[in-house]
Structure 1
């Protein structure tokens, strides 16, 4: 109990610092050339989401351009998701497992999630409306392997991180290209869901035959 409480207080304290000094840090990131430090700060903003991460990605994109900015934003986001996964799994796994399997519907959903973890996490990451923290925590409390989680999260985060950086870069230089970028991302999501739908149908047919 003391361990869980200590971890929670530590997280809350760090979140408060990010909230208190978030704006000055973002202003510094706009003009900084210290790439490693900027990446570390990006990971902190993603780990303690008191400020919208798309704003952070936009600032980095405006400062470093769409490619380098997208890469830094992606590294920061992936690092934060891995740290959150480890934080929850080794601090709250035992308590969380009891919660996930104490209700029949939730237990069935969790079993299904664990059986389709890679694709579920991958596609959840592709949808900006799905809270990243929810994916991190649920995956950590389940029996999903660390390797599957990291691989699916890393791949699934690429489009969104590039989008954030592109938006920031376009707003800084070519605002008219913003709608084109959003359109391309929307098309990417549509194709992704189409492929996933086809895969589910084929899988259902194979299971019916067998």
Structure 2
């Protein structure tokens, strides 16, 4: 009953965000209170019906690249921590049984738990990996909250700043958009290189 109630509650709120998504984005464009905007950013990241890069871009356009990036980062980080606690409290027992059900998934989970900080850190830096997948998988595993919180929050910094810079550049100077994406592409390439280097050393 607890699992069912939590699931229904989450789906219900997400549906509400879906219905009023356009109004929420319009509100972000006119927002002038950083605290309330941060709380709303957390809410939008917690219920990602609207892709968070869009939310981050709108916030960046409204507050500028630096302030917008900080607000976007705090909102995303807080949402990931709330989701972690939500899943761990409501579903970890069931999830642990599922992860141990198959030998392959159990081996992958054990490897993940041994190197949780680095895996979470690098996963956050790769924007194509769904954030919600990292949140749920980490919560179902035995990764400690502190390790998850640090790795997740640090790893989110580059992507959140990128979203805000893109949004600001689209409004102020679209020409800078190419430079912004280029810088992130270089940063992303370096991250992948370091991760593969670490992976090779670990295997040997």
- TM-score category of the 2 structures, normalised to the smaller one: over 0.9
1:189 matched to 2:202? The reply is: no
Displacement of 1:138 in angstroms is 0.3
- 2:101 is paired with a residue of what secondary structure? coil
Larger Rg: 1
Displacement after TM superposition at 1:149 (Å): 0.4
Shift of 1:191: 1.1
Deviation of residue 16 (structure 1)? 1.1
Match of 1:179 in 2: 178
Query: TM-score, length-normalised on structure 1?
Result: 0.95
- Aligned mates of 1:130, 1:29 — CA distance in 2: 25
Aligned to 1:199: 198
Moved more, 106-115 or 11-20: 11-20
Q: Which residue of 2 aligns with 1:168?
A: 167
Give deviations 1:111-144, integer Å, cap 9, x for gaps.
Answer: 0000010110111111110000000000000000
In structure 1, how many angstroms separate the alpha carbons of the residues matched to 2:103 and 2:163? Answer: 39
Q: CA deviation at 1:201?
A: 3.4
- 1:185-210 deviation line (CA, Å, top 9, x unaligned): 010011112222333334444xxxxx
List aligned pairs for 1:20-169, cutoff 5 A. Answer: 20-169=19-168
Q: Which residue of 2 aligns with 1:208?
A: none
| Number of residues of Structure 1 aligned to a counterpart in Structure 2 | 204
Which one is further off, 189-198 or 144-153? 189-198
5+ residue gaps in structure 1? 206-210
Aligned-pair Cα RMSD in Å:
0.9
Q: Distance in 1 between matches of 2:35 and 2:168?
A: 20
**Secondary structure of 1:49's match?**
coil
- Any idea what the Cα deviations from partners look like across 1:50-95, whole Å, max 9, x if unmatched? 0010000000000000000000000000010000000000000100
Provide the rounded CA distance (Å) in 2 between the counterparts of 1:153 and 1:185.
18
